[in-house]
Structure 1
Amino acid sequence: MALTITQQDNTIILEGSLNTATINNFTTHFGFIINAFKSVTLNIDKVTDMDACALQTLKTMYVNGVVNQQMFFVEGKRSEEIYEAFVYPQVA
């Protein structure tokens, strides 16, 4: 399944698969949005599949966001899985 990206103000809603095939498009789209807002919420309620590549990319984006003071938050059913991967990233 493809990835559908919808934006409502500073909330990005993802629907579909977040994997190796779709992560580059998401990263590009996310980059434009994070530059427009001080903080962004990423809603992953409708994400059906997330692979290790996508999880690693989200972690890298999180570290870059902390360094550049561009915060994003993850909400949704699988957000705990993502937060566990984010635990104590090396930022400095």
Structure 2
Amino acid sequence: MALQILEKNGIFEAYGNLNTHTSRSFIVHFEYLMTTLKEVTINIDKIKAIDASGIRALRTLFAISLKNNRILHIIGKGYKDIYADTSKTFAI
């Protein structure tokens, strides 16, 4: 299933699968948004499946947000697991 991203009230909702086939376009889309917006919120409630490539994509977005002094929020089901996984990457 393809990945679709819709904006509702300033929150970007992702629908479908975040995997090897969709992660690059996901990164490119949100990297562009972070060049124009100071704060980006992604709701992952409608993500049906996420693989290791999808997790790496989220790590990449966190790194881009830190590098460019942007705020990135990931909300929705499973966000705690993703946060625990990605926060290990940036632990000092």
Q: TM-score when scaled to structure 2?
A: 0.88
Superposed structure 1 runs of 4+ greater than 2 Å apart: 88-92
- State the Cα distance separating 1:22 from its structure 2 match: 0.6
Higher fraction of strand: 1
Amino acid at match of 1:87: S
Structure 1 gaps of 5+ residues are none
| Structural mapping, 1:53-72, within 5 Å | 53-72=53-72
| Structural mapping, 1:1-92, within 5 Å | 1-8=1-8, 10-90=10-90
- State the Cα distance separating 1:9 from its structure 2 match: 5.2
- State the Cα distance separating 1:8 from its structure 2 match: 3.1
Spell out, residue by residue over 1:31-56, the C-alpha distance to the aligned partner (whole angstroms, 9 max, x if none): 22111110100000000000001101
My pick for the range that moved more, 4-13 or 44-53, is: 4-13
- State the Cα distance separating 1:63 from its structure 2 match: 1.9
Flag the 1:9–1:29 CA change in 2: closer, same or farther, 3 A.
farther
Whole-angstrom distance in 2 between the partners of 1:61 and 1:53 = 12
Whole-angstrom distance in 2 between the partners of 1:52 and 1:31 = 19
Whole-angstrom distance in 2 between the partners of 1:90 and 1:46 = 26
Whole-angstrom distance in 2 between the partners of 1:72 and 1:45 = 16
Amino acid at match of 2:34: I
Percent identity (aligned): 30
- State the Cα distance separating 1:91 from its structure 2 match: 7.6
Flag the 1:64–1:91 CA change in 2: closer, same or farther, 3 A.
farther
What is the aligned residue count?
92
